[in-house]
């Protein structure tokens, strides 16, 4: 049996209200590889609650984040060697309810933490203490920074070469990561253009500093860009793919940079891709001395903690809006409980969200945090 430190003040890892950690829990598991999330993923009702090893924390999840790439993960696109069943969900915020001996050097029972690790779609998740991020409190806003905020910050810092007066186009600008790309580009004194799918989203984008919003449902994005930015845009933060990628590529200025952080339009297709006019890519890049760069957060983990600390300070100073969408406006209401993760994924792919989609995992015991 793995050792769990019995700390006198935790009373055998009782939580704050004095109810013990259960022996079983609910969690989501990928049981079949499919780009259809509902087909791929099963809600298991009675999985054993894992025990933390020496350097681990057992975190009771209170909020978990939905990411477009959840579908790529459940389709087996990230690591072909991993076979079902496997746990899913990339990020969570909650409190430490038990921990191993070494982990107790830096953490205590009841402490609020956030983490990025596969397996967050569960009531409890084991998190290595060195991967956890201590938080002042359990708030869903902190969750928005873990993957979405860090992706925007690091991709623009490493690949964007932003400076005052540059024109930056953000596609899906009102989404989980787009909201940060808009704000960070504005902090760099750039002129920011954001595409979105509704006037309500356009209003949100203006409220966080977007200079020019384009509703692609009612406006022709290509025509608007050609008319208003005849010299092109310097940087594109692109997460849509397909036709939007082609359009963004055509809109690049001389020496323009297109940063690909995703291509959500294709994720639900069998190949995970939407067709692009790739045969024209070399000629278009050459003609403009332009570049296309991909960004995948896992390749920048050496800078991750620095990025997150910077973003947390910005949020705490009031310099960053962290918009959370709990699905209150969705047909069946707020995303509450692991069973609502399926609805939350659908909601994202319908393009309904403003900000980061977060699911709340309520507990029968109300926490004092």
| C-alpha–C-alpha distance, residues 147 and 89, integer Å | 12
Pairing of strands 56-65, 91-99: antiparallel
| C-alpha–C-alpha distance, residues 275 and 19, integer Å | 54
Q: Where are the domains of the chain?
A: 24-138+323-360, 146-299
What whole-number percentage of the chain has pLDDT above 70? 93
State the pLDDT at residue 12: 39
At 363, the pLDDT band (50, 70, 90 cuts) reads confident
Tokens of 15: 């939580």
For residues 49 and 21, the answer to whether their CB atoms sit within 8 Å is yes
CA distances to 23, 145, 154, 161 from 341, rounded to whole Å, are: 23, 19, 27, 36
CATH number of this structure's domain 146-299: 3.40.50.720
Closest C-alpha to 237, from 340, 137, 325, 151: 151
> For residue 65, is pLDDT > 90?
yes
At 2, the pLDDT band (50, 70, 90 cuts) reads very low
pTM of the full predicted structure? 0.93
**pLDDT, tens digit (0-9, with 9 covering 90-100), for 325-359:** 999 999 999 999 999 999 999 999 999 999 999 99
| C-alpha–C-alpha distance, residues 350 and 330, integer Å | 11
**pLDDT, tens digit (0-9, with 9 covering 90-100), for 66-94:** 999 999 999 999 988 999 999 999 999 99
**pLDDT, tens digit (0-9, with 9 covering 90-100), for 80-139:** 899 999 999 999 999 999 888 889 889 998 999 999 999 999 999 999 999 999 999 999
> For residue 310, is pLDDT > 80?
yes
**pLDDT, tens digit (0-9, with 9 covering 90-100), for 125-180:** 999 999 999 999 999 999 999 999 999 999 999 999 999 999 999 999 999 999 99
**pLDDT, tens digit (0-9, with 9 covering 90-100), for 252-291:** 999 999 999 999 999 999 999 999 999 999 999 999 999 9
Contacts of residue 169, defined as CB under 8 A and 6 or more positions apart, other chains included, come to 193, 194, 195, 225, 233, 235, 236, 237, 248, 251
CATH topology classification for 24-138+323-360: Quinone Oxidoreductase; Chain A, domain 1 (3.90.180)
Mean pLDDT of 219-237: 98
């Amino acid at each position: 049996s793995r050792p769990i430190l019995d700390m006198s003040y935790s009373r055998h890892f009782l939580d704050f209200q004095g109810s013990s950690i259960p022996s079983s829990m609910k969690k989501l598991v990928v049981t079949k590889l499919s780009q259809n999330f509902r087909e791929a993923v099963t809600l298991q009702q009675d999985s054993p609650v894992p025990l933390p090893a020496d350097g681990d924390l057992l975190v009771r999840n209170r909020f978990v984040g939905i990411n477009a790439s959840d579908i790529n993960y459940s389709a087996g696109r990230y690591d072909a060697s991993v076979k079902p069943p496997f746990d899913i969900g990339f990020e969570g915020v909650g409190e430490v309810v038990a921990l191993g001996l070494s982990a107790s050097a830096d953490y205590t029972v009841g402490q609020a933490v956030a983490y990025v690790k596969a397996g967050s779609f569960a009531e409890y998740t084991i998190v290595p203490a060195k991967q956890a991020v201590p938080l002042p409190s359990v708030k869903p806003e902190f969750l928005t920074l873990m993957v979405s905020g860090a992706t925007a910050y690091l991709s623009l810092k490493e690949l964007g070469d932003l400076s005052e007066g540059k024109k930056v186009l953000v596609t899906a600008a009102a989404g989980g990561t787009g909201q940060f790309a808009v704000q960070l580009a504005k902090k760099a004194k750039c002129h920011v253009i954001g595409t979105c799918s509704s006037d309500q989203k356009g209003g949100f984008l203006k409220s966080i500093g977007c200079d020019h919003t384009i509703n692609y449902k009612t406006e022709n994005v290509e025509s608007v860009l050609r008319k208003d930015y005849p010299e092109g845009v310097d940087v594109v933060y692109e997460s849509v793919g397909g036709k939007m990628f082609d359009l963004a590529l055509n809109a690049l200025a001389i020496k323009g940079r297109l940063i690909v952080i995703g291509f959500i339009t294709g994720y639900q297709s069998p190949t995970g891709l939407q067709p692009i006019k790739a045969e024209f890519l070399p000629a278009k890049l050459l003609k403009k001395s332009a570049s296309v760069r991909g960004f995948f957060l896992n390749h920048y983990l050496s800078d991750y903690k620095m990025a997150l600390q910077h973003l947390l300070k910005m949020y705490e100073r009031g310099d960053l809006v962290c918009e959370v969408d709990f699905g209150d406006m969705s047909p069946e209401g707020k995303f509450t409980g692991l069973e609502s993760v399926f609805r939350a994924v659908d909601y994202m792919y319908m393009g309904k969200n403003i900000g980061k989609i977060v699911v709340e995992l309520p507990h029968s015991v109300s926490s004092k945090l």
